[in-house]
């Protein structure tokens, strides 16, 4: 508990740092000075606070989505970007953009979420059709499924001349976040809370269908709830910030190394670490090539794939 508190404090410090890193001068002094147009205050309210909130919300939501996914698929190496979920959401967003361009973002997001749900269900279907003895095969099939869906998406994007926008929303980037453009992410917070409330159910479901049914729990219901949480979070993060690969994979795995697999205990950890990790990566991306920015998905992609490789090769040695 004390450790968790420490992690929260560290994340809070990162959040404060994130508020003050940027091109425009935003020192405390500038904030307090009563300049005529009060520009620093406006930047803080319109740009920096929304950005920091968006990072915290999407970081913790994606990490929790990864955790839920690992519980319902019963495999440590899945997360939305290794199960075709992110790519399906992206396809759904493209379809929404093409067919109903006039809809508000909320409506498009729901279509993306529906596609994400269908894509993930397809993935689970394939897994059920072919019993896989090898744990490594599950993420492999997922990544390939994602690749195929991605190819379909780029084909349509190419036909309708939307490739640049597709590239833009597939690349996770918080630099475009302003007040009024991130509020959908609060849905992610709701999903995270839901996952916490249902944590015990997911923990039980993680022990298998027979065990779950034996304890008097409706397995199918838990699976559907998990799928809805994962798809909603993926869609929300995709339409606001863009995709952030590997986040849902490395954070739950690191947490599970530290505190084990009881979801009631791990959800707060995963949420805090997810937010802290994305904050740190975003700050790094903003500082390393100041005054330009490196998109979050690139920074997380480098760190995330390196950690993933470590986990893969380590688990082999331990086995």
Binding site for another protein (CB under 8 A): 77, 126, 129-134, 136-137, 139-141, 143-145, 147-148, 151-152, 154-155, 158-159, 245, 288-289, 292, 294-295, 298-299, 301-302, 305-306, 308-309, 312-313, 316
Minimum Å gap between C-beta 147 and another protein is: 5
End-to-end CA distance of the chain: 30
> With helix as H, strand as E and coil as C, how does 32-91 read?
HCCCCCCHHHHHHHHHHHHHHHHHHHHHHHHHHHHHHHHHHHCCCCCCHHHCCHHHHHHH
Indicate the residue among 186 and 292 with the shorter CB distance to another protein: 292
For 48, residues 6+ apart whose C-beta sits below 8 A from its C-beta are 18, 19, 20, 22, 26
Closest among 256, 268, 275 to 10, alpha carbons compared:
275
Give the whole-angstrom CA distance, residue 184 versus residue 200: 27
Minimum Å gap between C-beta 179 and another protein is: 26
| Integer angstrom CA distances of residue 82 from 86, 134, 249 | 8, 16, 9
Contact 225, 191 (CB under 8 A): no
Minimum Å gap between C-beta 305 and another protein is: 4
> For residues 115, 121, 125 and 127, what is the CA-based torsion angle, rounded to 10 degrees?
110
Indicate the residue among 256 and 315 with the shorter CB distance to another protein: 315
Indicate the residue among 28 and 129 with the shorter CB distance to another protein: 129
Indicate the residue among 90 and 212 with the shorter CB distance to another protein: 90
Minimum Å gap between C-beta 184 and another protein is: 26
Minimum Å gap between C-beta 313 and another protein is: 7
Indicate the residue among 155 and 186 with the shorter CB distance to another protein: 155
Minimum Å gap between C-beta 6 and another protein is: 30
Closest among 16, 77, 94, 57 to 241, alpha carbons compared:
57
For 306, residues 6+ apart whose C-beta sits below 8 A from its C-beta are none
Indicate the residue among 126 and 217 with the shorter CB distance to another protein: 126
Minimum Å gap between C-beta 115 and another protein is: 17
Indicate the residue among 211 and 292 with the shorter CB distance to another protein: 292
How many other C-beta atoms lie within 10 A of the C-beta of residue 292? 10
Report helix, strand or coil for 247. helix
């Amino acid at each position: 508990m004390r450790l968790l508190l420490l992690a929260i404090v560290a994340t809070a410090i990162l959040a404060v740092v994130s508020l003050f890193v940027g091109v425009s001068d935003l020192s405390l002094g500038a904030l307090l000075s009563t300049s005529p147009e009060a520009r620093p205050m406006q930047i803080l309210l319109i740009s920096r606070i929304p950005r920091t909130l968006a990072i915290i919300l999407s970081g913790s939501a994606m990490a929790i989505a990864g955790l839920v996914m690992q519980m319902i698929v019963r495999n440590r190496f899945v997360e939305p970007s290794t199960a075709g979920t992110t790519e399906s959401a992206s396809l759904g967003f493209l379809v929404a953009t093409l067919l109903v361009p006039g809809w508000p973002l909320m409506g498009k997001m729901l279509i993306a979420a529906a596609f994400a749900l269908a894509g993930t269900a397809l993935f689970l279907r394939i897994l059920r059709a072919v019993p896989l003895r090898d744990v490594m095969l599950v993420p492999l099939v997922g990544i390939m499924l994602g690749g195929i869906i991605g190819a379909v998406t780029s084909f349509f994007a190419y036909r309708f001349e939307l490739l640049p926008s597709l590239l833009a929303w597939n690349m996770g980037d918080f630099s475009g976040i302003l007040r009024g453009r991130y509020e959908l992410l609060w849905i992610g917070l709701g999903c995270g809370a839901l996952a916490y409330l249902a944590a015990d159910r997911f923990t039980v479901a993680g022990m298998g269908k027979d065990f779950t049914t034996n304890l008097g729990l409706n397995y199918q219901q838990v699976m559907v709830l998990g799928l809805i949480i994962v798809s909603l979070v993926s869609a929300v993060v995709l339409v606001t910030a863009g995709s952030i690969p590997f986040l849902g994979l490395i954070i739950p795995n690191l947490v599970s190394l530290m505190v084990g697999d009881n979801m009631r205990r791990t959800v707060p950890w995963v949420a805090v670490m997810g937010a802290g990790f994305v904050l740190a990566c975003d700050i790094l991306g903003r500082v390393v090539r100041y005054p330009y920015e490196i998109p979050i998905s690139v920074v997380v992609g480098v760190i995330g794939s390196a950690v993933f490789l470590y986990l893969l090769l380590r688990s082999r040695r331990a086995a």
